[in-house]
A and B are shown apart, each in its own frame.
Chain A
């Protein structure tokens, strides 16, 4: 069963860019993941599915400022031109053989 590792926190300034990382466990480096955003007090929101090739498909209404990329077992979520509303928790998710798993989440602070 895959394990997803995320840093617990990140911060960046308003208008800048930030790159969040989700790392797949050994033996699972080819897995597709999904990124989700959870703003304070709200339900999670699907952002995108991201393949090991770096190809991604975003959910409906997700701004162009959000993009994905990959390198080996690492899956990245880049947010450009940070806005105050981007301050949220970000989770990655993957799946295998009738199970799904979430990373521990990264709390993003916009300074």
Chain B
């Protein structure tokens, strides 16, 4: 059974940093690209970032470019999102998702709240 379990969310002040993690299991992790997708309270889904199977190719939404960094550790079956210079508008539930050419599995998400 495919499982994606996010962690690392919390409350942070504007300008602060957080590192999200996603532990993957139930599939061969390095066979897949991975993504982060967020959902602000009461809003729709917004793609944040994606990474290919070996980390050699990454992409970012314009809204996070230069502030967020996606990475992965295939030996640990883990995906990460380093978030710096956080803003109030980054407040959202962050989902780890399998796939960069169409998500086919979703994690439950970890909540990030940016507030002073």
Contact = CB atoms under 8 A, between A and B. Distances in A.
Interface of A: 32-34, 36, 38, 43-46, 49, 59, 89, 91, 93, 95, 97-105
Interface in B14-58: 35, 37, 44-47, 50, 57-58
Given A43-B95, A43-B107, A44-B95, A102 B102 contact: no
A43 B102 contact: no
Query: Does more than half of chain A's interface fall in helix, strand or loop, or is it mixed?
Result: strand
A32 B59 CA distance: 19
Interface in B72-116: 95, 100-109
Contact of B50 (A43, A59, A98, A103): A98
27 contacts: A32-B102, A33-B102, A38-B45, A43-B95, A43-B109, A44-B103, A46-B103, A46-B105, A46-B106, A59-B104, A89-B44, A91-B44, A91-B45, A93-B47, A93-B103, A98-B50, A98-B59, A99-B50, A99-B59, A100-B50, A100-B59, A100-B100, A100-B103, A101-B47, A102-B46, A102-B47, A103-B44
Interface of B: 35, 37, 44-47, 50, 57-59, 61, 95, 100-109
B35 to A, nearest CB: 6
Contact of A44 (B45, B61, B100, B101): B45
Nearest to B52: A98
Contacts of A36: 45, 103, 106
Nearest to A1: B62
Contact of A46 (B44, B100, B104): B104
List the 7 closest A-B pairs by CB distance, nearest first: A98-B59, A34-B102, A100-B47, A102-B45, A105-B44, A46-B104, A43-B106
